[in-house]
Amino acid sequence: DAPAAVNVGNPHVIFFVADAQTIALERLGPLIETDPLFPARINVNVASVAGPNHLTLRVWERGAGLTQACGTGACATAVAAIRRGLATSPVTVSLPGGDLQIAWAPGETIRMTGPATHVFSGEADWSQFG
């Protein structure tokens, strides 16, 4: 099937595949992200339908690479799946970092529910950023 394009405040392209785990996203992600079709670059999502309201998702975030979780990617993918009749709301979206629950209906806002986990602490010398 053709990919879906969804903008949830940032642009996403979603490919629905038989098994998202088998896609070489570390190779394909940067190629698609920087394709001339997307002059501002794009987030690349590969998703599999695991059940009527369950998706498995991997995300290549523009400028960041493979991620453990991506809330906007989960929202964009759930909306695309619901619009295509591949899933019904609410949808569980399973990412490497955990599961998110996405609820959406046409004309409504997208609602995401899930855990938040602290994964990094750091410091920056802000004067180095001009």
Which pLDDT score, from 0 to 100, does residue 67 have? 95
For residue 122, CA distances in Å to 55, 63, 118, 119, 125 come to 33, 19, 12, 10, 10
| pTM summary value | 0.90
Res. 130: pLDDT tops 90:
no
**pLDDT more than 70, % of the chain:** 100
* pLDDT tens digit sequence for 57-101: 999 999 999 999 999 999 999 999 999 999 999 999 999 999 999
Contact 46/23 with Cβ under 8 angstroms?
yes
